[in-house]
Amino acid sequence: MTTGNKRERRRHVVCAADELAPGTSRLAELGRRRILVVRDEDGRLNALSDVCPHQGGPLSGGSVERMWVADRPGEHHRSEDRTVAVCPWHNFETDVSTGCSAWEPRPLRAATYRAEIEDGDVVLYV
Ligand code: FES
């Protein structure tokens, strides 16, 4: 028998998988909790709190996009694997896979949640 603080997560169907195309996101409202569900351009699912870790702006009001990166000054390009939610209030970028701010990862972090595609549906475990 195990003991500890493991909490049973509840399963929530968000939408049909074909309603969340690669490169798009959707806001899921579960009671008072607002969760941004993101399907990146490669089809991977991520879910994070809709509350920006900077000052609480609504991430769902901004954009979701590949992060701009640079190998050298003046040579910017889109990342091949990092997707960020760009907050509409002050343009902070939050990595959708970790919930961490792209530039201040330690103190600024949004909660993340497990998201899966099951039987043709997008499902959250919260
Ligand atoms: S509240 Fe989101 S960037 Fe400031």
Residue of 36, 55, 103 to mutate, ligand 1, most atoms within 8 A of C-beta: 55
What local confidence, expressed as pLDDT, does residue 5 receive? Answer: 64
Q: Is the pLDDT of residue 17 over 60?
A: yes
pLDDT tens readout for residues 75-116: 999 999 999 999 999 999 999 999 999 887 778 899 999 999
- Computed on alpha carbons and rounded to an integer, the radius of gyration of the chain in Å comes to 15
Distance 91 CA to ligand 1 centre (A): 6
Q: What average pLDDT does the structure give for the chain?
A: 93
Structural domains in the chain, CATH included, are 22-125 (2.102.10.10)
What count of other Cβ atoms lies within 10 Å of the Cβ of residue 107? 9
pLDDT tens readout for residues 41-53: 999 999 999 999 9
- Gap between the terminal Cα atoms of the chain: 24
CA distance 15 to 30: 13
**pTM (predicted TM-score):** 0.90
CA distance 126 to 58: 19
Tell me the two tokens of residue 10.
């509840």
